[in-house]
Each structure stands twice: as structure tokens, then as C-alpha cells.
Structure 1
Amino acid sequence: MNDIIIDKAILHILDTSIDAPVLADKLMSFSSQADEFLKTHIARAMEDGDIKKGGFKEDAEEFNTEGFKGAISNLEPAAFIVVSQQLAQNIFDLALANPGIPAADVLMCHFKYDNGIYFGILKFNYKQSYIHHFAMVGEEKETGIIKQNATIANENQKLEEFAFIRLDDFSILIKEKKYEINGAKEFYLSNRILNVTTDLSPKTKVKIVEKAAEKVIKEYYGDDPLKVSQLKTELKTCVDESSIVEIDRITNAVFDGNISAQQRYKDEVAQKGISHGAFEVTSEIEKTVARKQKITTDTGIEISLPVNYLENQKNIEFIMNEDGTMSILIKSVNIR
């Protein structure tokens, strides 16, 4: 894990059950527990498969981009407090007017990560949980269970919304969810608060690569598990070797020799929003991508096989029968 150094942080309470936010006037006093809590969330967020890369839009009438960049880049505590309060107030006002946006505690910070300095916005959306209740009734102890409506994510839970702005080039890493704004769902954090454009997340891109390939395989080869296994194997190899998924490599491996299918696949991927020939994945994606292939028969039988098992014909054989059906031979296994 890259070293994370938190320079300063401030926490604002955006509880929309009341009419005004509680905006802190002083920086947080850090305990070792608070420091570790925040570092854990930043490190996990940086590897989140749903994180999107982005950049600021040009100046709009309602948003002074250059002024905002200057404000978040000011490392003086007083200036940092002011810009954090303004951002928190904007989020609160939008949430108050649009109840679908969850109430939250919003923590903003300046921190160092991977040789860069970042302005961070971490939104700890409130969760419902239950805690014990204790009271003295006369001389008797009474206990019970009550609902708590304003608890935040613990260190083992992933954040649903955050944004990290790198201050040397103003590139942005953001994770967000769509909520209803004026009757239509949209990404309010990028569109309404920060005024940025974003790319697709690595998790979304991997799904596009897989689904597009499966669609073209079905169009050109029918339900051919060998082609699907080639897709899974090549995707896994790309990720394991370099953490980069190359569209040309996937295309050539799966649709080798079929020019029409290759072009159809590239068109499908581009249509779904992947405009570049390669993209990087996070470590979270590396742990989960294409590790197994599930085969389902028309009779409802499901076979789940590790991708690396499919790479060797000594392990498994797909046999085409004269009647158009397929037999699957799994070799040299121990039954337990």
C-alpha cells in the first residue's frame, strides 16, 4: 500500500433531518485511531473498481473552474476551512431540496499519496443500525434495542461516494451514484458540485469487454464454450501480466482469422463507450476478473470451472456430436 500522509482534515455534518448543516470552524484533532480510520478508507477507495477518472469542464456561467482550483490548492488552514464549508453547504442544499440524496458526514482533507498532493472529499452516508439502550427505572435496570439512523461506514465498509483531486494536474478520481434531481436521476457530485466530466470505471469497462465478446461469439459461433473460455483466459492473462486490458489482444485471441467478427466486436465495444485501445484495472478488479467460467445446459445443469483449468485440453474436452449437441469430458479429477 502506498504511504498516505494526511496533512489536514475537517468534518461537516450534513443531516437533512434538520434545516441547516453543522459546519465545523476548526480542523479535526487527529487521534491515532482517527488517522488510521481515514487512511484505511483512502487506501481502499484508491483501489475501488467503481472509481472513475475525470477532469474539470471549461468555465461555466454558474461555476468558476479556475477560482475553484485555486481555492482547493491553497494549503493554508484558514483557506482550506472556508472552501470545505462552501462545498459542504452546496452538498447540503442540494440534498435538502432532493430527498433521494442521502444525508451524510462529509470529511474533506489534504493528503499525500503516490508522490501527489490531493484534495479529498469522502462522503460517509448515514446507515441505519441498531444499538442497545440502557436506562435506570427507579432502582431497576432496563435494557432494550433501538434504531440508530446516523451511523457511518466502519473501516471494513466501502464508501459509496468520494472524490480525490490531484493538485498538480487537477485530474480527478471519483466514485458516485445517481440520485434523483428535479425528477431525473443524475450524477450530482460530478455534475452539480464539482463540474467535471468522467470516464467509465474499470469495473464497467471489464463488463463491457466481456458482454460485448459474449454477444459477438453468440452471433458468429453460437453457444461455443471454447470461444467463451478463450475470452476468459485472455482477459485473465492481460490482467495478471500487466493490469492492463488490451482490446486488440482480446479481439485477436477470441476472433482470430474472422475479420468480420473482429470488426463487429470492436464496433460493439466502442459503441458502449470504450474509446481507447487499452485501459488499466485496479487491484480490486484483478482479484475477481474472469477467474471462473460457468456453463449452463438447456436442461438446467450448471458447471463452474476455473479459467486456468480450461487452458489445457488435458483437463477438459468439448466434443461436438453429430446431432448438434455437445459432450463435455472432464479428465483426471479426484472426487471429494
Structure 2
Amino acid sequence: MIDLYLKRIVIHQFSPNDTELLLADNYLEITPRLDDYFRKKLTKVFSDEAKRGQFEQENVFMSYLTEDLLETSVKIAQLWKEEFVISEDQKTNDLVFIQFDKEGIEHFAFLRVALRENFTHISSDSHSPIKVTQNNLPSAAQTPDEALVINRKSGNYYLIEKRIKHNGSFANYFSENLLQVKPEQSVKKSIKMVEQTAQKIAENFNKDDFAFQSKMKSAIFKNLEEEQELSPEKLADQLFDDNLTARLTFVDQLKESIPEPITVSDIDHSRQTKKLENQKLSLSNGIQLIVPNNVYEDAESVEFIQNQDGTYSILIKNIEDIQNK
């Protein structure tokens, strides 16, 4: 787990019934179990789902952050409510404000956590022990419904937001209205865009076969693992090394959405690398193969042969043991 030290927590509550805030007048007592719960919640923000960026010095939202977390939390909760209250889908929400250190540097966090109805076993009532209880917190493993984490030293931020529906349209009210920023898109969305763009260009140049798909998957995986970043220029050289036009087209189509290399050193990107670490091949005869990238690229382990009639043969070599699982 990321090295986090929680110093202060304030929790206010928003009720959709009267669209009012129930404001806390003191800090939460941080017990060991609550410390573990909220550290896990914060860890989920440093993920491939987060949008990132840096606040400019004149940003109005940053002026609301003071040394007094209680005062700050009340102000931001009230501003958040003004923007969120127009949403057509409202639930009871805990608004959690946390002052914490990450690797010795002070951070500020605002988490919106939608509360749930759950069945609970009430042991004192043997006739009807199963009751529905309100305002239950979700598990620690669940990503907060929305979250903002700010590095107080650098002004860098991590944002998880959901669009709200109002008058039939959807809006990113959190970034556009409350924060007034334009964050980078998430790593998860960026990787998907890279894959879709590469596949589209490969189709245009008649290169879109299983070999290209495997090459693309392997190239993205290696860049994430070894370079800790994805650069459209580097990927263009790796994927379209024999076609200058394809390389230039690939970079050009990505430059608006991904103007700079996508860095992943500061987030947990394990879900992305997990999806990319193996080649998953589905053959026309019903056979399915899962081959680790390092084995797939080793000619001494696997060989793909294209036959004269256009069919393929796969030669798997040097197998010491076979188990039926």
C-alpha cells in the first residue's frame, strides 16, 4: 500500500430529501479500523481511473484551502452542494475531507461516498432477524464515487469524477464548475484511445491481423513496465517501423488528446499491465491459447507459420512438462 499518514478527517453529510448538509462541528476520531478504511479509499484514487493535472496559482478553488481543515471542509461542502443539487440522481452522500501526508508531503482530499441500503442480521429479533439498514458505507475496496486529492506543495491533483444528468444532458460538474480545471484524461482512457487509433491505422494500411494486435499489446506493456510512460512517438516507431505515413498519422491523430507522454510512475497501473502481460489467442478450431509476452516473442518457444494455403500453424517448442488443469 502507498505510504499514507492520516492526520485529520471531517465528515459532512448530504441528504437528498431536503437537499441540505448535515455539517460536523468536530474532527472524526481516527481509530485503527477507520484509519485502515480511509487509507484504502485514498489508495484507490491513485489509479489508472484518475484524471490528473496541476492547479494554476490564480485558481479560485485553491484559495479555499486553508490550514484549518474544518473551516475548509464546510466551505467546499457548501460549494459542492450548490453544483451537485441540480443532479437528477441524488442519494445520501458522506462528504469526507482528509488532511494526510503521502511520502512526507502534505495532501488534501475530498471524497464523495454514496451510502447504501443493506440487509443486516439483527440477532436480538429471532422472528424477523433480517432488517434493511440505511446509510451503510461501501467496502474499503470500492473506489470513491468521486474524489479529489491535491498535493499541497506542488498543486498537482488526482480527480475521479462522474458526470451528472440535468435537463436531459450530462456534465462534468466537478471539474468544469467546482474546480474550473481541464484535467488530462485518465490513463485507462488514454490506453484505450491508443489501442483504437493504432488498430484503425493498421486497418487503413491492411496490417490489422493477429500479429499486429499482438505486437501492439506487447509494445504497450513494455513501455508501461520499462519506461513507466506511453509516448505516441515511441509507439509509432515500434508499431509502424516500416511505414512513415502510418507513423505520422498515428502521432497526428493522438496529439490533441495526448499532447505529452502518459506517465504512470505515480499511480497504480497494475490493472492495465495485468490485461497486457499475456497474449490471448482464440483459434478458428476452438483452441484458446494464453501465452506470456516473453514466451510469445521467443522464437525458441513459439513459432507461427503461415502455410501456402493461407492457414496458420503454431509450433510450441521445448515443453518439459504438461499438466491438465
* TM bucket normalised to smaller: 0.7 to 0.9
Gapped runs of 5+ residues in structure 1? 60-64
Compute the displacement of 1:34 (Å).
1.7
Seen in structure 2, the aligned counterparts of structure 1 residues 143 and 215 have a Cα distance that, compared at 3 Å, is same
Compute the displacement of 1:175 (Å).
0.8
Matches within 5 A, 1:114-193: 114-134=103-123, 141-193=126-178
- Contact 1:134–1:142 under 8 Å retained in 2: no
Cα-to-partner distance string for 1:173-216 (whole Å, 9 max, x where unaligned): 11112221332112222122222221011111111222222222
Hey, what's the Cα distance between the residues in 2 that align with 1:317 and 1:219?
27
- The aligned amino acid for 2:174 is L
Seen in structure 2, the aligned counterparts of structure 1 residues 280 and 309 have a Cα distance that, compared at 3 Å, is same
1:24 pairs with 2:16: no
Q: What residue in structure 2 maps to residue 254 of structure 1?
A: 239
Cα-to-partner distance string for 1:98-131 (whole Å, 9 max, x where unaligned): 2325431011022111342222101111233221
Hey, what's the Cα distance between the residues in 2 that align with 1:125 and 1:3?
26
Compute the displacement of 1:325 (Å).
3.4
Hey, what's the Cα distance between the residues in 2 that align with 1:200 and 1:293?
27
Q: What residue in structure 2 maps to residue 14 of structure 1?
A: 14
Compute the displacement of 1:162 (Å).
0.5
Residue range with higher mean Cα deviation, 273-282 or 188-197: 273-282
Gapped runs of 5+ residues in structure 2? none
- The aligned amino acid for 1:26 is N
- Identical counterparts, % of pairs: 21
Hey, what's the Cα distance between the residues in 1 that align with 2:88 and 2:129?
31
Hey, what's the Cα distance between the residues in 2 that align with 1:324 and 1:33?
61
- Contact 1:51–1:202 under 8 Å retained in 2: yes
Q: What residue in structure 2 maps to residue 276 of structure 1?
A: 260
Compute the displacement of 1:134 (Å).
5.0
Cα-to-partner distance string for 1:260-302 (whole Å, 9 max, x where unaligned): 121122123235x111144335333464241122334567664
Cα-to-partner distance string for 1:218-245 (whole Å, 9 max, x where unaligned): 3324442222222222222212213222
- The aligned amino acid for 2:5 is I
1:308 pairs with 2:294: yes
TM-score, with normalisation over the residues of structure 1? 0.84
Q: Provide the aligned C-alpha RMSD in A.
A: 2.6
Hey, what's the Cα distance between the residues in 2 that align with 1:268 and 1:115?
40
Q: What residue in structure 2 maps to residue 243 of structure 1?
A: 228
Hey, what's the Cα distance between the residues in 1 that align with 2:220 and 2:171?
31
Query: Secondary structure of the residue that 1:196 maps to in structure 2?
Result: coil
Seen in structure 2, the aligned counterparts of structure 1 residues 335 and 325 have a Cα distance that, compared at 3 Å, is same
Aligned residues: 320
- The aligned amino acid for 1:75 is E
Q: What residue in structure 1 maps to residue 94 of structure 2?
A: 105
Compute the displacement of 1:10 (Å).
0.4
Q: What residue in structure 2 maps to residue 69 of structure 1?
A: 62
Matches within 5 A, 1:204-215: 204-215=189-200
Query: Secondary structure of the residue that 2:73 maps to in structure 1?
Result: helix
- Contact 1:109–1:121 under 8 Å retained in 2: yes
Seen in structure 2, the aligned counterparts of structure 1 residues 146 and 299 have a Cα distance that, compared at 3 Å, is farther
Aligned match for 2:75, one of 68, 86, 109 = 86
1:330 pairs with 2:307: no
Aligned match for 1:321, one of 301, 307, 320 = 307
Q: What residue in structure 1 maps to residue 51 of structure 2?
A: 52
Hey, what's the Cα distance between the residues in 1 that align with 2:299 and 2:131?
59
Compute the displacement of 1:144 (Å).
3.3
